[in-house]
Structure 1
Amino acid sequence: MARAAPRLGAAGLTVLLHGRDPDKVARGVAEVRAAGGTAEGLVADLASLAEVDRLAAAVAGRDDLTILVNNAGVGFGPPGGAREESADGHELRWAVNFLAPVRLTTALLPTLTANAPAKVVNVGSIGQAPIDFDDVELRRSYDGVTAYRRSKLALAAWSLDLADDLAGELEGRLAGGEVSVNCLHPATFMDTQMVHDYGAAPRSTVQEGGEATLRLILHERGTGGFFDGDRPARAHPDAYDPEVRRRLRAMFGSAATGKAQTHEQSDCR
């Protein structure tokens, strides 16, 4: 998203750029400003729920926050890599790819609702795998690819579930405008550090993924969609399964109401 940020600034949006590395954040802000846009930088490590909360607190209540893009992600890691944990003791891919966007979006929903019409865009992957609810965080038999794909299925399922929730609230109770929620697979094996870390040959450019994400941010008007690039697509069948959604809700609470039931719950690594 850092490469797309100048385009967002040029479109007249104030861009709030997040990252873990202060120098990279500063460079991103400078690029937006050099392109004639307005930008601010925010530094936080989304592998820590305390820092997710701090990030949310820094922007909650802004009257110009109308689009939230959850783009942070941890990839497969090197082949055969060991299991890693977040600052809170969660499997790292589960923490950053799923728990952090859930936590951040939940915290910012009141602000987005107040500023509606608003959007949540979750950058996921078409590479998804069923969740073993008896071993969600792969404590027994770890594999980085499986961990990544489980986190992306959870993100897709939660995105679609949240979209349904918010559409129902709009019909019944919300006085403001719509908050749409969509999820996308921007491109396959883009030329990024996470792909190189795994040792895979890139199949797509970062520009291709950026263009697909920009289209969703700037032009998509619907909600509850999953996209493969710029095309409507289907997520893994489990993402539409009411029982999968129910079990995720039982673990993490309702993101639509913000009633998180557990602390288990975005800057590429």
Structure 2
Amino acid sequence: MNLDGRTVVLTGATSGIGQAAARLLAPHTGTLVIQGPQPASEVAALIKELGAHTEVHYVAADFTSFEQVRQAGAEIRAMVPAIDVLINNAGVPGTAHRQVTADGNERTLQVNYLALTLLTEILLPAIPSGGRIVNVSSTTHRMVSLALDDLNLAHGYDPVRAYAQSKLAILTYSLQFAQQVSDRGIGVVAISPGVISTSLLHQMFGAGGARVEHGGRRIAEAVTADVPTGTYIDDGEIVAPSEEARDLSAATALAARTASLIPS
């Protein structure tokens, strides 16, 4: 996809690989809408930097709140008439001790996965044929199975398990969603950006990893890559997702559980 004059929406754009991706994408887009949890005043320097290359809009939203996700979706719909690329990158690590949002969900699951599905649903009518959705998953999806009877991990919570399950949920959802929107000509690509040296990585796994620019580049590459819908790209290589991520019955059960956790 050629991004000249196109509108790109990028969540989780104010830190880590999201910020790196925003810097890479800005010179090539017509309009860039970025989201982060901070007030605009706290990211004014980044907005100004990106604005030197393209038209930039900023939406502040804390994804621990479904109300704020809905408000963000409404703001974005009002800002731009159409969205050519939606990049769902916002994510948090699992916390040392289980935290529950005001909406009643385990924090990692809500921010990383449930908010992603809700925002995508809100923005989908604005994505035209030929548009693309890029969902940021992780190779950690291979470490776990979906706890379909306990997605919120009320039992057996562990920060790495919480994070890995949220990324498995993203990938499982992405593969199914790719089929659902294929007749509209919308492509869905899921990626693992690689092992990146971010505070998220360090909090759960210790030091190590590539520079954030590497992860940002992987996101930017996924936007323009000539790949079929439903493709999973792990650190630049097209690979098969885990068997569970490709399990249709698990995807169907996940969709039902997801709907039950997001109030209408």
Q: Deviations over 1:150-201 (max 9, x none)?
A: 111111000000001112xx1xxx4xxx11111100011x121112323511
What amino acid sits opposite 1:25 in the alignment?
Answer: V
Q: 1:264 to 1:245 in 2, by over 3 A?
A: farther
What amino acid sits opposite 1:33 in the alignment?
Answer: G
Q: Deviations over 1:74-122 (max 9, x none)?
A: 1133xxx11011221100111011100000001111111xx33111100
What amino acid sits opposite 2:244 in the alignment?
Answer: D
Matched ranges for 1:53-202 at <5 A: 53-60=70-77, 62-77=80-95, 81-112=96-127, 115-128=128-141, 129-167=144-182, 170=183, 174=184, 178-188=185-195, 190-198=196-204, 200-202=206-208
2:209 to 199, 203, 208: 203
Alpha-carbon distance, 1:38 to partner:
1.7
Q: 1:123 to 1:24 in 2, by over 3 A?
A: farther
Secondary structure at the aligned position of 2:190 is classed as strand
What amino acid sits opposite 1:239 in the alignment?
Answer: A
What amino acid sits opposite 2:134 in the alignment?
Answer: V
Percent identical across equivalent pairs?
28
Q: 1:43 to 1:31 in 2, by over 3 A?
A: same
Instruction: Tell whether the 8 Å contact from 2:27 to 2:54 is kept in structure 1 after alignment.
Output: yes
Q: Structure 2: state its 5+ residue gaps.
A: 1-17
Instruction: Tell whether the 8 Å contact from 1:25 to 1:43 is kept in structure 2 after alignment.
Output: no
Alpha-carbon distance, 1:231 to partner:
0.9
Alpha-carbon distance, 1:42 to partner:
0.7
1:48 to 37, 49, 65: 65
Aligned to 2:7: none
What amino acid sits opposite 1:250 in the alignment?
Answer: A
What amino acid sits opposite 1:124 in the alignment?
Answer: S
Rounded to whole Å, the distance in 1 between the matches of 2:29 and 2:165 is 36
Instruction: Tell whether the 8 Å contact from 2:24 to 2:216 is kept in structure 1 after alignment.
Output: no
What amino acid sits opposite 1:247 in the alignment?
Answer: A
Q: Give the total of aligned pairs.
A: 243
Q: Structure 1: state its 5+ residue gaps.
A: 254-260
Secondary structure at the aligned position of 1:238 is classed as coil
Rounded to whole Å, the distance in 1 between the matches of 2:42 and 2:49 is 11
What amino acid sits opposite 2:37 in the alignment?
Answer: R
What amino acid sits opposite 1:263 in the alignment?
Answer: I
Aligned-residue CA RMSD (Å):
1.8
Instruction: Tell whether the 8 Å contact from 1:14 to 1:37 is kept in structure 2 after alignment.
Output: yes
| TM-score scaled by length of structure 2 | 0.86
Alpha-carbon distance, 1:226 to partner:
0.7
